Amino acid sequence: MKKWNLLPASTAKPQPTCVPEPLRADYAEACAIRDLSPKASATIIRRCLQGMIRDFCGIKKGRLIDEIEELRKRVDAGNAPRGVQHDSVDAIDHVRGIGNIGAHMEKDINTIIDVDPHEAQRLIELTEMLFEEWYEARHRREQRLKKIGAIAAEKALAKKPPAKDGPQTL
């Protein structure tokens, strides 16, 4: 017996525009197919996390495993972007392995490793957490600093003496 929910069609939470559109689209798709195909959902989340490493962290290599290792090196050296932590990198690496279930066939095609909807949901939640810790936190920080800059500029203008009106003669 199949079970389906009439509403809502997806568990995707609206994501702010500070998260790039391709990442938001992958996230929404992974949420939409979580119950229909958890393995495909995990694979799309894997792709989304790779996109985050490329966009947010500026690491672009041929394989996700190489990008994760480079990110790990940067975290260890203290050169990772603000908000990127060791445990986040470990979690992304775990998702890589889980997402590989859907992305790559096992050597023995009779070996079937399943991903259930609850497991796919945990991967979706990791993505939501990283959107918040990486993109939203950076955006909030930038906005707060911009407001401080605007206040400083306003105060600097207030300190200037008023301009004298009319032409000056000697």
> Among residues 93, 88, 78, which one has the least CA distance to residue 131?
88
The first and second tokens of residue 129, run together, are 């957490």
What per-residue confidence (pLDDT) applies to 160?
Answer: 81
129 SS3 class: helix
Dump pLDDT digits (tens) for 127-160: 999 999 999 999 999 999 999 999 999 988 888 8
Query: Which residue ranges of the chain lie beneath pLDDT 50?
Result: none
The first and second tokens of residue 43, run together, are 């694979």
CA pair distance 164, 161, nearest whole angstrom: 9
What per-residue confidence (pLDDT) applies to 97?
Answer: 83
Dump pLDDT digits (tens) for 77-92: 999 999 999 999 999 9
- Give the pTM: 0.81
What per-residue confidence (pLDDT) applies to 1?
Answer: 75
